Structure 1
Amino acid sequence: MKIGIVCYPTFGGSGVLASELGLSLAKEHEVHFISYACPVRLQAHNDRVIFHKVDVPPYPLFEYSPYTLALTSKIIDVMEHHRLDIIHVHYAIPHATSAYLAKKALHGKVKIVTTLHGTDVYLLGLNPSYKSIVEFSMENSDSLIAVSEFLKKETLEKFSITRPIAVIPNFVNPEKYKRTGRGKEKIICHISNFRPLKRVADVVQIFGMIVKERDCRLYLVGEGPTRHPAQKLVEKLGLEEKVCFRGNVGDVSKILGKSNLFLLPSQQESFGLAALEAMSSEVPVVATRVGGLPEVIRHGKDGYLAKVGDLDTMAEHCLKILTNEGLAKKMGREARMRVLEKFATEKVVPRYVSLYQKTLVS
């Protein structure tokens, strides 16, 4: 098959999943990425993965450059020149709309698959400025995918669509994300885009409670609007010597491989790809019982779940893992087995291929 993938090229979950999916598909199929920049995890040297840059020329008339139209034109161009079979768009806004416009311009010569990732549904998608067109674009996709049962339920409850939604979870490569050498110092890790929903301040406060009882270090990986307030909180709590802001990291597998605990106290998570990468690395996860996280983490078996904002309970769970080596190893092994059985690349990618094939003959 010839497959086009449209995604945001950022460090967020939708861009990461799209990149990893494309690289896996490229082993047997021709894959074309379309975006305004090369996705961060894309391997430029892979000759079966072709990147097409969307240029948005500035024009004095526009206060905001019309990216949706520029993306549409690029999709049309790639479709015409490379005879794509499938356009798989990740994140509904504005990718599904651009794909629909391109399909109409080419008289329906390509099939559209749209993967919903979360905030494109329950945050941006519900904004009155976007809801009608997001709903229309989802309904007019040839196939719809949600990354969790939670997200499927949310979509059906909040939007008037009749299009069936398939659930295909996120996945990781267990050969890449695995346990490596760990030193004597315990490392707690958090990876996110530092948006308010991620509650990075909670990570810092929980760590402040933990470090009073157990010597350890906190790695904060990522960039975003709440990084500066988090740094201020670290200074206020006197934790500068114990907290390391790592910024955006292209390959987080090495950091996770030597971590002892992953902390994810989010307000909402449609799935939690970073948690899955940690689990594959035999790192127990302490997270909130929200969204799709309970579909990934089994409380008391490969991690712990708590209510949003219950920092005391999350700190207790963390200390239980950090102070009991036997429990930590058992949970780590269970976490990796969970990934191998249900969320490994070879388990999930064939489900995408199967859906593509069914979409093409529908």
Structure 2
Amino acid sequence: MTRKLKIGITCYPTLGGSGVVATELGKLLAERGHEIHFITHSIPFRLGHFNKNIFFHEVEINDYYVFRYPPYDLSLASKMAQVAKMQELDLLHVHYAVPHAVCAYLAKQMIGDGFKTVTTLHGTDITVLAQDESLKDLIRLAINQSDAVTTVSNDLMRETRELLDITKPIDLTYNFVDKRVYYPRDAASLRADFVQPHEKVLMHISNFRPVKRVSDVVEVFAKVQERVPSKLLLVGEGPELSKIQWKIRQMGLEDRVHFLGKQEDVAQVISVADLLLLPSEKESFGLVALEAMACGVPTIGSTAGGIPELVTHGETGFLAPIGDVEAMAGFAVRLLKDAKLYDQFKRACIFRARHEFCDGRITAQYEQIYYRVLGIEAELEEPVCSE
């Protein structure tokens, strides 16, 4: 029997898809018998219920008076090394290049003796931060000094190689969702709070940053609701929110758009929707589209980044070039008006989410990477990816 591992995980614990995926991965690994140690500044918000194999180590920042800014990065690196030694960790798995992969590199130097680190790149750590000349060399160093590197899409892998001239092997490990949480929910009562029985629900979930093109969401919805009675539900908050609220008032759509703010139970909320709108100009993977897919909700989106690897055009949704709101609206109307076609898409969404992005299979991929970097031959159970 292959021995179980002691794994340190560092991620952003309070926001973003990278933290969600890292936390869910840690929980699944713990269920498989591994000992998981989260090393972050606060408890990951998705950590949930107690598990005997999960531990949390808080990073405390030394606010010494000579520091202009508290040195979180150095405190994190020091804590990583401390936990690794005290808990006799086998390896560290860090999510996001800056500062986590850099801190893991420093921790490796402190620990010595061939300690191993794995880095998962999630998106803006490459597509945005790696384009900053002041950070590029630092990110390249952290990646090259990692014992394994993974990306959440082929598109992100390509961009990582091109931007940073990375030649070392990179593993593709797609994001996933826990199928025990993400499945079509009965949301009839919640849906009735927003729409009449004959109306459809379009939804957008994001952090309302410019790259999400929420203005395009409103444009698409405006065209759809002229042909199909419908409402738009906007979930999340961010810098573009007030601008979008103004645009909706200018277009006279106030009575057809509802702002739901941040929501914790995404699976329940997304089950209210008939379609998800994701017209982003940058999207390394598009976790929200996978969450929607698992709940049986097709996506109308752009061809940006890794979205085409997730959403199969003409089967689980429709994709159009970035900014082509006319085409996106046309696709949405087509799906909403054809009940038979919509049902086909819904079933295809659930099947694809549970098989191509199976949580068990992707967790096993990470396990294989861990054992590989540790030089341990492993016999892993075949994951169950059933409907």
Specify the TM-score bucket, using the shorter chain as the normaliser: over 0.9
Matching of residue 274 in structure 1 with residue 274 in structure 2: no
**Contact 2:13/2:41 (<8 A) preserved:** yes
Query: Which shows bigger deviation, 259-268 or 234-243?
Result: 234-243
Q: Which residue is equivalent to 1:26?
A: 30
Q: Which residue is equivalent to 1:8?
A: 12
Among residues 212, 216, 231, which one is paired with 1:217 in the alignment?
231
Among residues 220, 230, 241, which one is paired with 1:227 in the alignment?
241
Q: Which residue is equivalent to 1:153?
A: 158
Residue deviations 1:224-278 (CA, integer Å, cap 9, x gap)? 2112211222222222222222222222000112211011000011111110111
Residue deviations 1:3-46 (CA, integer Å, cap 9, x gap)? 11110113311111101111111111111111122222111522
Q: TM-score, normalised by structure 1?
A: 0.96
Q: Which residue is equivalent to 2:379?
A: none
SS at match of 1:43: coil
Aligned counterparts of 1:245 and 1:325: Cα–Cα separation in 2: 27
SS at match of 2:171: strand
Q: Which residue is equivalent to 2:344?
A: 330
SS at match of 1:276: helix
The alignment's C-alpha RMSD in Å is 1.5
Displacement of 1:182 in angstroms is 5.1
- How is 1:142-181 mapped onto 2 (pairs within 5 angstroms)? 142-181=147-186
Code of the aligned partner of 2:38: F
Query: Which shows bigger deviation, 108-117 or 344-353?
Result: 108-117
Aligned counterparts of 1:206 and 1:180: Cα–Cα separation in 2: 26
Percentage identity across aligned positions? 43
Q: Which residue is equivalent to 2:385?
A: none
Q: Kindly tell me: are residues 172 and 52 of structure 1, through their superposed partners in 2, closer, same or farther at Cα, counting changes over 3 Å?
A: same
Among residues 189, 195, 211, which one is paired with 1:197 in the alignment?
211
Aligned counterparts of 1:45 and 1:358: Cα–Cα separation in 2: 29
- How is 1:74-93 mapped onto 2 (pairs within 5 angstroms)? 74-93=79-98
Aligned counterparts of 1:246 and 1:59: Cα–Cα separation in 2: 41
Matching of residue 132 in structure 1 with residue 137 in structure 2: yes
Code of the aligned partner of 1:278: A
SS at match of 1:213: coil
SS at match of 1:136: helix
Aligned counterparts of 1:242 and 1:65: Cα–Cα separation in 2: 46
Aligned counterparts of 1:241 and 1:82: Cα–Cα separation in 2: 56
What is the aligned length?
362
**Contact 2:130/2:163 (<8 A) preserved:** no
SS at match of 2:165: coil
Residue ranges of structure 2 left out of the alignment (5+ in a row): 189-196, 377-387
**Contact 2:77/2:104 (<8 A) preserved:** yes
